[in-house]
Structure 1
Amino acid sequence: MPTRNSSDVIIVGAGVVGAACAHYAAQAGLTVTVVDRGSVAGGTTGAGEGNLLVSDKEPGPELELALLSITLWRELADLLPPRIEYEPKGGLVVAADEPGMRALRDFATRQHKAGITSEEIPGEGLHDLEPHLAPGMAGGFHYPQDAQVMPAHAAAHLLRTGGDRIRLRLGEEVTGLLTGATGEIRGVRTAIGDIHAPYVVNAAGTWGGELARLAGVELPVLPRRGFVLVTEPLPQVVRHKVYAADYVADVASGSAALQTSAVVEGTPAGPVLIGASRERVGFDRTLSTEVLRRLAAGATALFPLLAGVRAIRTYAGFRPYLPDHLPAIGPDPRVPGLLHACGHEGAGIGLAPATGLVIAACLTGGEPPLDIRPFRPERFDPPLL
């Protein structure tokens, strides 16, 4: 088991990605110390909606990671307690007009070639899936592989699966990395003391760039702010994750400006979660009434019934954004012993299991379950002349 000051690997970050890395590393027989300056799921994970999506991803490396994660989440749902609220309820993407439907149809065709299951739903069939959806929609696509989970509970229970192989050190900020004579990782330094290990995993989310700089390398992680509106508890008004077609374009956009698109989903506890907004404003948590107005307008356009429902709270979070919209996963060749598992933007909860499995394979000398070259951390370095 890990001691107070040493283990086989140190994972910096107790969000769902760090928790998944710890889970799979412990499964592989390693002892793990998870360090976080806050609490379990105290950052981006705790502000997430719990989306496990394939419906919003273009064919490519991220979609491959998502497909593997969907399979792993099903396995984890059998292992973890019901409190994680895993729901394989599927997603429904809707279009208001025929041009929007053509775009969804083209997107679904490309996804189908990559192994994604979807079904075109004509406008008159949408109410069979969502009885309270606004009338007059042109149609949509149903994605049965989409699911949802309660992210904070999922992170907490992933950390418990390792038993005494996983030690938590919460409320400790990493202030430096310990290195050997040739620059190899030897552990981390915190305000409380040094922790020793031959490997450090950067699962620090939106602060992943800061941790990388402590190691003397650049990883251009930036925070991308988003708000979520939460309604009073309701009967099952929204059965699937439902979102408007423009959400896919917003996810793929690199714009720093405010973007909003309607995303609505119910929860087992009753409240309806309403998103989504994206903007790069640093770590500014100031409440934006303009964002909330747009979110409410988008949600009621999809579900008019929500116009008479109270929003009881709102919260903000920061997605860890990298310029090419792909996370950094795997060993950093610039610093022996340093690995990265960050930069997943808004998909970290969905992509966490596959990320953790990849990191565990890298730590133990195994073969990663997919090609990790697109996620290499050093890809942002300027080319050598």
Structure 2
Amino acid sequence: MASPALTPTTPATRDVVLVPPAIAMVWTGAGRPHEIVAVPGVVLGAGETLVAIELATVCGSDVHTVEGHRAAPAPLVLGHEYVGRVIEVADGVRAVDGAHVQVGDRVVWSIMASCRECDRCRRGLPQKCRAVLKYGHERIQTHWELTGGFATHAHLRAGTAIVRVGESLRAEVLAPAACGGATAWAALARADEVADVDGATVLILGAGLIGLSACAMATDRGATVVVADPDPARRALAVRFGAAQVADPRDVRALTAALAATGSPEYDIVLEASGSPRAVQAALEVVGVGGVVVLVGSVFPTEPLPVDPERLVRGLITIRGVHNYAPRDLDAAVRYLRDRGAARPFEELVSARYPLAQIDQALAAASAGRAVRVGVDPRDAHRRC
């Protein structure tokens, strides 16, 4: 049964009137332009928070949705990578670090709200909560219209992990942490439970946001990282994020040659971040004895792949799937960016920026794939909309 904190009938603690009204860009279906919706106020329930969004970024799943490759309950407000500032908060809301969330706090928040009480939440799997609500993926409803990042404001439900981020980091660095950055941290953390990342030889397949973030994080822990991506520009970018070697994943021999160039006998950890079936197959083929393959990118339907069970058994190979993350992963990713991120060009990953009113153009730019992330800036939405 869903937690009362996550249902639309949560008793209100206060009505918040917004002058001017909040603006949300609402997606109504594949092939249709976004519609502008004004939200004059919110009913803030127990455990809830209202945030003015500073910047959102476009994730690949947003593109998959608008192109019709991913089912979604329209109408909805897309966007689940964001940074903003708290403008209203119910009593007793706490951040991941245990501190009370206060008006004026600059924050990022998790892509989901979880009940914190079901069996999955108790097992440490809040992203698979039985009553989960996911920002940027839920149909808008009465008293919860501000459901995603492509808006001027976001209405955070009870059970959302909130991380206070301070003022030093740029929005371009922080916003992607709410999805790709935290997922990269989660992937390495799950790998670390099988094969120690410190000193490991790591192969990362895919130099998107997750792959590049994981490259920097693993390198800074002392791993030797090889990054494989078919795009030469992405491979060059991976070097700036700490890759010791780069390769074209379409040639398995190139992956072997890159390994040889590191001086390591085998790949201890393989992180597949592209979702390409060919890359998944390569990951299973090249991982070393006792190694772990972490699958992160396979978040859309593909054809099933053949697996050689004898190789898995004799090679003592572990396969792990990582989808989204737990609150501790988001907190750790933000701390990493604060403490070590300046050494890598994270802010350059958002290399295109559009006003909120041009959300359809922003999504088209993201689909073209030239930018690792496209930014959506809501701060002049009332003038443009």
Q: TM-score normalised to the size of structure 2?
A: 0.24
Q: TM-score normalised to the size of structure 1?
A: 0.24
Which one has more relative contact order, counting CA pairs under 8 Å at least 6 apart?
1
